[in-house]
Amino acid sequence: MPIECSTGCHKNAVLKRPKTGDALCKDCFFWVFEEEVHHTITAAKLFTPDDYVAIAASGGKDSTVLAYIMKLLNDRYNYGLKLVLLSVDEGITGYRDDSLETVKRNEQQYSIPLKIVSYDELYGWTMDRIVEQIGLKNNCTFCGVFRRQALDRGATLLKVDKIVTGHNADDIAETVIMNILRGDIARLQRCTAIVTASEGTIPRSKPFKYTYEKEIVMYAYFKKLDYFSTECIYSPNAYRGYARAFLKDLEKIRATSIIDVIHSGECFSVRDGVKLPTQGICEQCGHVSSQPVCKACVLLEGLNKGKPRLGLGKTSKIREHLKRNDENLAGVEASDADTDKINIPKTINIKQLDF
Ligand code: SF4
Ligand code: ZN
C-alpha cells in the first residue's frame, strides 16, 4: 500500500528523508531541499546583489548539485549573482581528467562559464608526478594544500568576490571530529564557520553546511544530474575514513548525530590566553599563511629540491632543515641519500583537510 506524501499534497511518497524521517514525494523533496539551502544562504547573508561568485566544481555529486542549485536559486529568488565554475586539475590521469569532462558538460548544461587551473601550470608538478616521488602515503597532504591555494589563485585570476564550495554537513562533522582527535584547536575553532575569510583572501562559504550527504545523493539521483562518482585512484585519505565510519556508527544509534556534532563544534570556544596562530602573508608567494612561508611553498621547495618528505613535518622545523641542508650541501651535488642525513621529525603532521 503506497504511503502518501506527508506534506498533504496527495501524491505518493517515494522516499524517506534522512534528515527528518518524513515520507515525501519527489516534488516535495525537491522543494524542501532547495528551500533549506535558500534559507541557509539568506540566514547567513552569504551574498549581496551583483556578487561575482566562483563555484568550486570537481564534477562530483556535491559540487554538481551545488552548481545546479546555485543557478536555480539565483534565478528563482533574483539573488543577482554572476556565476562561474572554477575547477582545479590536479593532474591525476584516469580520475581528474574524466571528472573534468563532467564539469565541461555541466558548463553547457547550466550555461555557467568554466575556468580550470592546474597544478602543472601553477606549481610545475602534477599529482601523478608527486605520487611518483612520495608514494601513496602522504600524497593527500600535498594535494589538499595545493588545491586550497589553487582555488584561491584561480579565484584571484577571475577577480571573483566570493567562492562557494560543496562541503556538506557530513564533511563538516567529520572535520570537527578529526580536529578534536588531532588536538588542532585553531582549525577546530574555524571549521564549522559557514564563511571563512581572513584579510586579503576571497571569502569562501558552504551553502550545504546543514545539508546531509545522503540527501545530496538523492537530489542528484532524482534530478538525474550528470556527475562523476568514481573515487580518486590515489585512494581516499585514511584518517577521514575512520572519522566517517565513526560518525556512521553514531548515526545508527542517534539519527541527529551529524547536526549534533556540528552544533558542538560551533559551541567550542578557546579560553583566553591560549596561543593561536595568527594569519599573515607568505614571504615567498604572498598568499595567506600562519607561518613566514606557507605550507604550499614549503612542500614545493621540498619537491623541487628532490626531498619531498621534508615538507611533511612542522613548517618551522622544515625551514630549519632546508636551510641547514643548503649550508651543508653548498657546492655538493644533491642526491636522495642526503635526505637520510637529515633529522626528519618522526611525528608527521597531516593536515590536508583544511576547509
Ligand atoms: Fe587529491 Fe588525495 Fe583527494 Fe586524490 S584522494 S584528489 S590525491 S586529496
Ligand atoms: Zn607561499
CA 18 – CA 248 distance, rounded (Å): 13
Residue type at 202 in one-letter notation? I
CA 202 – CA 255 distance, rounded (Å): 35
Is the CB of residue 140 below 6 angstroms from any atom belonging to ligand 1? yes
CA 273 – CA 293 distance, rounded (Å): 25
Task: Pick the ligand that lies closest to the CA of residue 286.
Answer: 2
Residues in contact with 345: Cβ distance below 8 Å, sequence separation at least 6, in sequence order: 313, 314, 317
Residues in contact with 84: Cβ distance below 8 Å, sequence separation at least 6, in sequence order: 52, 53, 54, 55, 112, 113, 114, 115, 158, 160
Angle at 119 between CA 163 and CA 143, to 5 degrees: 75
Residues in contact with 145: Cβ distance below 8 Å, sequence separation at least 6, in sequence order: 295, 296, 299, 352, 354
**Residue 62 labeled ligand binder:** yes
pLDDT in the model for residue 175: 95
pLDDT in the model for residue 325: 52
Please provide residue 287's backbone torsions phi and psi, each rounded to the nearest 5 degrees. Answer: -90, 165
Mean pLDDT by 10 residues, the chain (355 residues): 92 91 95 98 98 97 98 98 98 94 97 98 96 90 94 96 97 95 89 88 96 96 94 80 93 92 93 85 90 93 89 60 49 31 32 32
Neighbours of 178 (CB within 10 A): 23
- Ligand 1 mean position, distance from CA 145 (Å): 11
- Ligand 2 mean position, distance from CA 146 (Å): 10
pLDDT in the model for residue 248: 94
Ordered structural domains, the chain, with CATH: 38-267 (3.40.50.620), 280-342 (no CATH)
pLDDT in the model for residue 186: 87
The residue to mutate among 141, 232, 299, 351, having the most atoms of ligand 1 within 8 angstroms of its beta carbon, is: 232
* Residue owning grid cell 611525528: 347
pLDDT in the model for residue 355: 30
Residues in contact with 74: Cβ distance below 8 Å, sequence separation at least 6, in sequence order: 80, 81, 83
Is the CB of residue 88 below 6 angstroms from any atom belonging to ligand 1? no
Is the CB of residue 144 below 6 angstroms from any atom belonging to ligand 1? yes
Is the CB of residue 90 below 6 angstroms from any atom belonging to ligand 1? yes
- Ligand 2 mean position, distance from CA 311 (Å): 13
The residue to mutate among 118, 125, 127, 136, having the most atoms of ligand 1 within 8 angstroms of its beta carbon, is: 127
- Ligand 2 mean position, distance from CA 355 (Å): 17
Is the CB of residue 130 below 6 angstroms from any atom belonging to ligand 1? no
Q: Where are the alpha helices (DSSP H) in the chain?
A: 26-43, 61-76, 96-110, 119-123, 127-134, 139-158, 169-182, 185-190, 213-222, 238-253, 257-267, 295-304, 315-328, 337-341
Residues in contact with 216: Cβ distance below 8 Å, sequence separation at least 6, in sequence order: 61, 62, 65, 168, 208
Beta bridge partners of residue 84, listed in sequence order: 54
- Ligand 1 mean position, distance from CA 207 (Å): 23
Q: 303: which 3 cell numbers? A: 619537491
- Ligand 1 mean position, distance from CA 151 (Å): 15
Is the CB of residue 66 below 6 angstroms from any atom belonging to ligand 1? no
Cα–Cα nearest to 82, from 70, 92, 94, 91: 70
